[in-house]
Structure 1
Amino acid sequence: MKRRDFIQLAGLGAGAMMMPAIPSFSNPVEIERILDPIMDVTQKKQLADIALNTAKSLGATYADVRIGRYLNQFVTTREKKVQNILNTESFGVGVRVIANGTWGFGASNQVTPEGIKKATQSAIAIAKANSKFQKEPVKLAPNPSYGEVSWKTPIKKNGFEVSIKDKVDLLLNANSKAMEKGASFVNSIMFLVNEQKYFANTEGSYIDQDIHRTWPNFSVTMVDRQSGQFKNRSAFSAPVGMGYEYLDGRPEDKIQGPGGIILYNNSYDIVEDATMAAEQAKQMIAAKSVEPGKYDLVLEPSHMWLTIHESVGHPTELDRVLGYEANYAGTSFLTLDKWESKNFQFGNKVVNFVADKTQPGSLGAVGYDDEGVKCKSWDLIKDGVLVNYQAIRDQVSILKQKESHGCCYSQSWSDVQFQRMANVSLQPGKTQLTPEQMISGVDKGIYIVKDGSFSIDQQRYNFQFGGVLFFEIKNGKIAGMLKDVAYQANTQEFWNSCVAICDERDYRLNGAFNDGKGQPSQSNAVSHGSATTRFNGINVINTGRTI
């Protein structure tokens, strides 16, 4: 890589720390290149058939090939300046095979007949070498042939077609409004993703997908120079599986939340949010420090997603349950014996979790996963009881199930696909209940908005979560802002303390681009939905006090 390109890739600035890593073999590219298609479906099919035919001729009993073009755009600003504008492209092919009952994988950034043949030969050689150590042959769940099909994220505006000037102007306007309200520092960023993925396998599927994701974000910092205190308030935006229409900020998508805050659903107003963030950051500095003790917690969806991700999403991944995935963030306390008992009370009876790879607007929404399985939704926790896990084609036989759940994913063409978290969401309550009505029934509690710091053990059992905004609840009313709040529990205790969930009118998605897993690690984009939820008698600590 040229030094200039290295500096450009490395210089995304502090705001980019919130973003996932740039995919392997990415190179800076002009925006005109991003907007031009470089290969049509017919060409991809011809190249895919070279891989499949080569694999079969060399003894593979199964093979799949993924031709992927991964496009990213980063626009980063700080206060009145543009820090960086970067477009990247990664284009290549990955080939996965089963030979001698064993997986093998090869990849190349040479998307040519010769490059694909070499990648396939490498995959076969790896499989045969590894077969000497394979104790049992890979067993794939059956999957139908879908023939030639396609799927696209249903976007209204392609963010890559929106001018850089418009994006810069929007971010700088948000920064300016925050600075006018007294913000000491502001970082903002626009992150766009387009995954153009073509999948084919020896079972007769040829699947072309065009996936878009968008995330506007910022961090406002307020410094009280007299006391030396400072507070950060991050954006209330959600990373979404949508186009640039998410930035429209439609009035009907704004929600007046408890405590006078404005929340967003389906579309987002970054300028309004940045203005509000600066005002709230001042209030956060002046807020009363929490008194440790037991509280009833009312947790808003922009906070709940991370608690769901860590305490429900990860422990229901089957490879963690089996101990196959242990080095990166541990295994799971939800061992097979708990599932086999059919009565393990994961949570209160009002708690229902669904995994879903089809949810509109979510980060994980696709038509087919990265091993050609049509995506669907399925129950994980039903009426508080553990009923299923997240598993893919070579895992579901362990559960004595006959079809994959469709949650296989790879972050790029150069990485092998494996089981990744689907969108895991808490289902809304079945009776009508608003956040205000929920709060009216709480005598001593805390209302928490937006995710913050967290810590959880290697079996996803004992945890601690912070947040961004904390409001004291006294006798059914918001009584002012708090700070230095974190709550502690274990997963089973916590979800059994869940006593009420607001109805579907309050249901919203949030999530992350950077769900890490694997060795070497990969990033997955995943959303988690919920409505505002109440938990009784949770231990709250003061994070600002030292012992």
Structure 2
Amino acid sequence: MKRRDFMGLSGLAAGALFLPSLPGFGHALVDPARLLEPGADVAQKKRLADVALNAAKSAGAGYADVRIGRYLNQYVFTREKQVQNIVSTESYGVGIRVLVAGCWGFASTSLVTPDSIAATAQLAVAIAKANHLVQKEPVQLAAQAGYGEVSWKTPIQQNAFEVPIKQKVDLLLEANARALDAGANYIGTSLFQVNEQKYFASTDGSYIDQDVHRIWPTFSVTAIDKTTGKFRSREALSSPMGLGYEYLTPSAAEQVAGPAGTELVGYKQRYDILADAALAGKQAKQKLTTKSVTPGKYDLVLDPSHLGLTIHESVGHPLELDRVLGYEANYAGTSFATLAWKAKGLPYGSKQVNIVADKLQPGSVGAVGYDDEGVKTGRWDLIKEGKLVNYEKIRDQAHIVGQKASDGCCYADSWSSVQFQRMPNVSLQPGAAKLSVDDMIKGVDKGIYIAGAGSFSIDQQRFNFQFGGQMFYAIEKGQITGPLEDVAYQSNTQEFWGACHSVCDQSDYRLFGTFFDGKGQPAQISAVSHGSATTRFNGVNVINTARKIG
């Protein structure tokens, strides 16, 4: 998946046309009932893992790890009054990684038998020995104590695969009806459900069994002026979540009212797709006659449903250590935040900017107990009071920055893919002082409130950028005065985060996320969340995206 496609899948009016980009595409199509059948038990997986580890050591590996993975996916697509597609997939296999004389080797197999696994381990060792002919520097793997036999599971209340497909379809079709009744001409709704059953074992002495669940309901509505041919759209304000089907059980206690004058609602651990679809239909129609923005400098008040994408691109990616070191230069660029840049002590943002990585954040799609090289996950500071203090790294990178341990940022999107450094959940911390969105807006003389993620562009060093959104509202003398259209803001990472004036408190904190963060060659995707409360940035350059130049 290309970086530019990051948000493309949130607008699924063409539902099934996006299937080649989805997790599990190319996996075996199965009956939905298959998704509820139990996989191999832990004892059986341990026996198979030991076959791999013993075969690798006997062939000459100094270190080896094995991942036995069962990946389950279900996607439901509807449009207006019909079902477009329902897809259920399963993939099961084994990936084995070895270290021989300082060189990595990797091989995988879908034939999960002792003989096949032993042969695959031997192949991985042979590949590592071949790599030794061209590798210039040996891999230095940070020490990692084994955990023995442990397990971790996403704390869901209801497995989405247990919910009858008819119930899911009925919900999506009702959302479509609500949007059409409110003024939309077209709507496409989608429900993504993912279950990763992963077993990891290594020669360090870890045997880790994990059961990871994710869900994402989303839609795109479009309204058309049939006289002029003009059209406008509005995407769902949902977020992918590390939750079960309970995410689609609305609860007023889990909602955050948008600022006065917007009708918007922010969602936490529960999402009301029916209410959001109805409002989206109304707002898409209103956009047809909404006035266009006047370019200039504005104070921006950014909702978490919008700010998450900016965090992803201008903080999450540039602090991936492999980008910093230049290893990812051929796929969506490197990073301005090099080790030399960090050593200068230059500010990444204002003192209000405190950004953390957290692989255990409740409800996040990136939450796991252990990463894909057996490291127990946790939380650490990336930016503290505006200063860059750390990066995101894995076991063979830690020594480069003088650290002795991995951050637990290793991930592979399949048993057949080699694990490598991926972005953890990266989130802006809420302000310590009590501050509501309405109170924040009262202090803005000339500004724009932005909700929802839209188009974006960022350069190869993750520095200069432009971001759009879904809904825009003018702020004049401390009040929202009405909607705007054709808004995008331009800045660079240092300038933008340096303009951070204030952050609302914990009561407004929400998650944004994606299932489809692309990286690597061959490309892999991963799921990641970004939390924040509504945040104000002063004096940001806003352009009009509808105006022609010249």
Describe the superposition over 1:244-284 as per-residue Cα deviations: whole angstroms up to 9, x where unpaired.
Answer: 00000112112221122222111001111100100111111
TM superposition shift of 1:227: 2.1
Q: Is 2:396 the counterpart of 1:394? A: yes
Q: For residues 323 and 279 of structure 1, what CA distance do their matches in structure 2 show?
A: 46
Alpha-carbon contact 2:437-2:504 (below 8 Å) kept:
yes
TM-score when normalising by structure 1:
0.96
Q: Which residue of structure 1 lines up, in the alignment, with residue 408 of structure 2?
A: 406
Q: For residues 235 and 57 of structure 2, what CA distance do their matches in structure 1 show?
A: 52
> Which of 395-404 and 131-140 deviates more?
131-140
Q: Which residue of structure 1 lines up, in the alignment, with residue 3 of structure 2?
A: none
SS at match of 2:288: helix
Q: For residues 485 and 200 of structure 2, what CA distance do their matches in structure 1 show?
A: 49
5+ unaligned residues in a row in structure 1: which ranges?
1-10
TM superposition shift of 1:338: 2.1
Change (3 A) 1:75 1:24: closer
Task: Select the residue among 424, 427, 440 that pairs with 2:426.
Answer: 424
Change (3 A) 1:52 1:197: same
Change (3 A) 1:389 1:351: same
| 1:462-541 pair list within 5 angstroms | 462-541=464-543
What amino acid is the match of 1:221?
A: T
TM-score when normalising by structure 2:
0.96
Alpha-carbon contact 1:191-1:215 (below 8 Å) kept:
yes
Aligned CA-pair RMSD: 1.3
Q: For residues 20 and 540 of structure 2, what CA distance do their matches in structure 1 show?
A: 32
| 1:284-295 pair list within 5 angstroms | 284-295=287-298
> Which of 11-20 and 492-501 deviates more?
11-20
Q: Which residue of structure 1 lines up, in the alignment, with residue 377 of structure 2?
A: 375
| 1:163-178 pair list within 5 angstroms | 163-178=164-179
Describe the superposition over 1:138-162 as per-residue Cα deviations: whole angstroms up to 9, x where unpaired.
Answer: 1111111100000000000000000
5+ unaligned residues in a row in structure 2: which ranges?
1-11
Task: Select the residue among 311, 315, 321 that pairs with 1:312.
Answer: 315
Q: For residues 207 and 344 of structure 1, what CA distance do their matches in structure 2 show?
A: 41
Q: Is 2:96 the counterpart of 1:95? A: yes
Q: Which residue of structure 1 lines up, in the alignment, with residue 366 of structure 2?
A: 364
Q: Is 2:305 the counterpart of 1:302? A: yes
Q: For residues 175 and 19 of structure 1, what CA distance do their matches in structure 2 show?
A: 24
SS at match of 2:514: strand
Q: Is 2:337 the counterpart of 1:337? A: no
Q: Which residue of structure 2 lines up, in the alignment, with residue 201 of structure 1?
A: 202
Q: For residues 14 and 337 of structure 2, what CA distance do their matches in structure 1 show?
A: 40
Q: Which residue of structure 2 lines up, in the alignment, with residue 281 of structure 1?
A: 284
TM superposition shift of 1:326: 1.0
Q: Is 2:50 the counterpart of 1:46? A: no
Alpha-carbon contact 2:223-2:281 (below 8 Å) kept:
yes
Q: Which residue of structure 1 lines up, in the alignment, with residue 6 of structure 2?
A: none
Alpha-carbon contact 1:517-1:523 (below 8 Å) kept:
yes
Q: Is 2:273 the counterpart of 1:270? A: yes
What amino acid is the match of 1:241?
A: G
TM superposition shift of 1:106: 0.1
Task: Select the residue among 339, 346, 349 that pairs with 1:347.
Answer: 349
| 1:1-400 pair list within 5 angstroms | 13-14=14-15, 17=18, 20-23=21-24, 25-258=26-259, 259-341=262-344, 343-400=345-402
Q: For residues 285 and 37 of structure 1, what CA distance do their matches in structure 2 show?
A: 51
SS at match of 2:150: strand
Q: Which residue of structure 2 lines up, in the alignment, with residue 415 of structure 1?
A: 417
SS at match of 1:126: helix
Describe the superposition over 1:56-114 as per-residue Cα deviations: whole angstroms up to 9, x where unpaired.
Answer: 00110000000000000011101000111110001100000001210000001101112
Alpha-carbon contact 1:15-1:187 (below 8 Å) kept:
no
Describe the superposition over 1:329-360 as per-residue Cα deviations: whole angstroms up to 9, x where unpaired.
Answer: 0000001012233x220000110110010001
Describe the superposition over 1:107-144 as per-residue Cα deviations: whole angstroms up to 9, x where unpaired.
Answer: 01101112211211211111000011122211111111
Q: For residues 275 and 387 of structure 2, what CA distance do their matches in structure 1 show?
A: 42
Q: For residues 233 and 12 of structure 1, what CA distance do their matches in structure 2 show?
A: 11
> Which of 59-68 and 26-35 deviates more?
26-35
> Which of 82-91 and 252-261 deviates more?
252-261
Alpha-carbon contact 2:39-2:70 (below 8 Å) kept:
no
Q: For residues 471 and 101 of structure 1, what CA distance do their matches in structure 2 show?
A: 56
What amino acid is the match of 1:363?
A: V
What amino acid is the match of 2:125?
A: I
> Which of 19-28 and 413-422 deviates more?
19-28
Change (3 A) 1:17 1:226: same
Q: For residues 381 and 18 of structure 1, what CA distance do their matches in structure 2 show?
A: 37
Q: For residues 106 and 23 of structure 1, what CA distance do their matches in structure 2 show?
A: 19
Alpha-carbon contact 1:216-1:239 (below 8 Å) kept:
yes
Q: For residues 17 and 461 of structure 2, what CA distance do their matches in structure 1 show?
A: 30
SS at match of 2:362: coil
Alpha-carbon contact 2:201-2:374 (below 8 Å) kept:
yes
SS at match of 1:139: coil
SS at match of 1:288: coil
What amino acid is the match of 2:490?
A: Q
Q: For residues 131 and 257 of structure 2, what CA distance do their matches in structure 1 show?
A: 58
Q: Is 2:428 the counterpart of 1:450? A: no
Q: For residues 401 and 287 of structure 1, what CA distance do their matches in structure 2 show?
A: 53
Q: For residues 480 and 15 of structure 1, what CA distance do their matches in structure 2 show?
A: 36
Alpha-carbon contact 1:356-1:377 (below 8 Å) kept:
yes
Alpha-carbon contact 1:315-1:321 (below 8 Å) kept:
yes
Alpha-carbon contact 2:194-2:214 (below 8 Å) kept:
yes
Describe the superposition over 1:309-328 as per-residue Cα deviations: whole angstroms up to 9, x where unpaired.
Answer: 00000000000000011111
Alpha-carbon contact 1:94-1:413 (below 8 Å) kept:
yes
TM superposition shift of 1:32: 1.7
> Which of 176-185 and 87-96 deviates more?
176-185
Describe the superposition over 1:505-532 as per-residue Cα deviations: whole angstroms up to 9, x where unpaired.
Answer: 1110011011010011100100000000
Q: For residues 44 and 174 of structure 1, what CA distance do their matches in structure 2 show?
A: 42
Q: Which residue of structure 2 lines up, in the alignment, with residue 433 of structure 1?
A: 435
Alpha-carbon contact 1:12-1:84 (below 8 Å) kept:
no
- What is the count of residue pairs matched by the alignment? 536
Describe the superposition over 1:472-521 as per-residue Cα deviations: whole angstroms up to 9, x where unpaired.
Answer: 00000001000000000010011001011101111100110110100111
TM superposition shift of 1:14: 3.0
What amino acid is the match of 1:302?
A: S
Alpha-carbon contact 2:13-2:187 (below 8 Å) kept:
no
Q: Which residue of structure 2 lines up, in the alignment, with residue 3 of structure 1?
A: none
Describe the superposition over 1:218-252 as per-residue Cα deviations: whole angstroms up to 9, x where unpaired.
Answer: 11110111221111111111100000000001121
Identity over the aligned pairs, expressed in percent? 62
What amino acid is the match of 1:498?
A: C
What amino acid is the match of 1:100?
A: A
